[in-house]
A and B are shown apart, each in its own frame.
Chain A
Amino acid sequence: MAGARQATGAADREIVISRVIDAPRELVFEVFTEVRHLSRWWGPEGFSTTTRSFEFRVGAVWDFVMHGPDGTDYSEWITWTEIVPPERIALLHGESRDDPNAFESVLTFEPDGRATRIVMHTVFPTKELRDDAVEKYHAIEGGQQTLSNLAAYVAEIVLKGAEG
C-alpha cells in the first residue's frame, strides 16, 4: 500500500501535472505562445505578470516579474529549449539568466477526443531542489507560512477530506 506512492529512481526529483482542456489542441497550444495570452492566465487567481521581454522561439527568453496577491514580486526567467507546434514545448525555468537551480519542464499537448490533454513533466536537478521548489511555491501562494500555520492549513484540508 505504502509502495504505491513510494518514489523510485528519478521519481523523487520530478513532478507531473496533467489537465484536460475542452478545446482544440491548436488553440490550447496558442495560449502558450504569446504574452497577451500568457498574461491572462499565468499563476493562480490574484497573480499578475509584467513582461520585460518576450520572444517565442528556441533559445529565446521570456523575462518577467510575477506579482503575488500579497504584493511580493518574483523575478522569473524562462528559456524555450524545444518548440514543436502544436505538440510540445520544453522550457528551462529559473529566477534569472544562469540560475544554477533552474529546472526543466516539458509540456505535451495530446488530442483527447475534441479536448486536449496537457501534461507538464518537470524534472529538478536534485531531490533537494524539488523539495525547495515545493516549499518556495507554498510560500509564493501563502506568503510567509510558519509551521503552526502549516499545521492548521493541512488539518483544514484533512477535515474537508473527511467531510467530503
Chain B
Amino acid sequence: MARAATTSDAFNAIAEPQRRDILALLRAGEWPVTDLAQELGMSLPGASKHLRVLREVGLVRVRGAGKQRLYGLDARGLRPVHEWIGGFEQFWNESFDRLDAYVQDLKQTQQEE
C-alpha cells in the first residue's frame, strides 16, 4: 500500500529530496536522463526510477526529440500541490499579516495615549 501511495500521490512524490532536486532542475527546461543524472550526481538507474515515479503522478512528462527522450515539468500533477499551497489560504494568510502589523500599530498608539 505504501508503494501505491508513492506512485499515485504528488505529495509523497515530492517528499523525496532527490526528486525535488530533479523538479528544481527541470524548472529551467527539458533534460535527457543521462545529462540529468550526471548534473545531479545520481546513478542512471536511480535517476530513471525517480523520473518514472514523477511521471506516474503527473509531475514530469517526456517527449521524443530525434533519438533523445527529453524530460520536462508537467503542470497537471502540480495542481493538487498548488491548491494545497494556496489561493484562498494565501490570500487570507497575507491579509492576516497586514492585520497583525496594523493591530501592532494601534496597540502602540493606544499605549502612547
Contacts and interface: CB of A to CB of B under 8 A. Distances in A.
A68 to B, nearest CB: 11
Contacts of B88: 15, 122, 133-134, 136-137
B11 A17 contact: no
Contact of B96 (A17, A140, A150): A17
Contact of B20 (A21, A148, A158): A158
B27 A156 contact: yes
B64 interface: no
Nearest to B105: A40
A128 B84 CA distance: 15
A59 interface: no
Q: Which label, helix, strand, loop or mixed, suits the secondary structure of the B interface?
A: helix
Contact of A41 (B5, B93, B99): B99
A150 B81 CA distance: 11
Contacts of A138: 82, 86-87
A31 B103 CA distance: 8
A162 B20 contact: yes
Contacts, number: 131
A37 interface: yes
Interface string B1-45: 010010001011010010011011011000000000000000000
B87 A151 contact: no
B85 interface: yes
Q: How many B residues touch the partner, as a band? A: 35 or more
B102 A141 contact: no
A43 interface: yes
A117 to B, nearest CB: 11
A37 B101 CA distance: 12
A152 B104 contact: no
Contacts of A159: 20, 23-24, 27
Given A17-B96, A155-B73, A158-B14, 11 more contacts: A19-B93, A31-B99, A41-B95, A120-B92, A137-B88, A137-B91, A147-B75, A148-B75, A151-B73, A154-B81, A155-B24
Which 5 pairs of residues, A with B, have the shortest CB-CB distance?
A44-B94, A137-B87, A147-B75, A134-B87, A138-B87
25 contacts: A5-B84, A17-B89, A19-B93, A19-B96, A22-B104, A23-B103, A27-B103, A27-B110, A28-B103, A31-B102, A41-B99, A41-B101, A41-B102, A42-B95, A43-B94, A45-B97, A120-B92, A137-B91, A138-B82, A150-B82, A155-B26, A155-B27, A158-B81, A161-B20, A162-B20
Interface of B: 2, 5, 9, 11-12, 14, 17, 20-21, 23-24, 26-27, 73-76, 78-79, 81-104, 106-107, 110
